[in-house]
Structure 1
């Protein structure tokens, strides 16, 4: 599994974490609080989220061949929720 991380600067981190988790809770295994979230996709990919007052930290775990797709779908969903903000996703990949 490849691992990617990103820190997104936003004062609405908790709101976006909860929106993303609620959005996917109908299809996937999801656990969340206002500060922490975990989404387990049916194919084994995992997204974890951690919200603080100033940032949303996201970790995405997936097979290397689907890593870019997972990063993209997570970013697009959060950008859609944050339409009033310009968020930046600069993913850092680990081996």
Structure 2
């Protein structure tokens, strides 16, 4: 990702018994194209996406997603990140609900 893209952001908290597994899988898969890295020690990672950046953090029983992008890119990036995670976690019934702006969902 190039430049300082800060005019739009979105957050999601995904409840799961396997947050680290899904975080690592998401970063590995989506990071192939533009870059990304998962750090096991911090249970977190980042993904550069065309038009923005996602950060992924595994908590206790939940996976935290944070997107920063140009406002016009947020719907597309929410769809890409959410759709992939839901597909990876289909068996576990994962769902992703995005909240725009600075408020972090609970």
Same fold at TM > 0.5: yes
1:56-71 residue pairs with structure 2 within 5 A? 56-71=63-78
TM-score, with length taken from structure 1? 0.89
TM-score, with length taken from structure 2? 0.81
Deviation at residue 44 of structure 1 after TM alignment: 4.3
2:46 matched to which residue of 1?
38
Gaps of 5+ in 2: 1-6
1:79-94 residue pairs with structure 2 within 5 A? 79-94=86-101
Deviation at residue 68 of structure 1 after TM alignment: 0.7
Q: How many residues align?
A: 94
2:15 matched to which residue of 1?
9
Gaps of 5+ in 1: none
Q: How much is the aligned-residue C-alpha RMSD, in angstroms?
A: 1.4
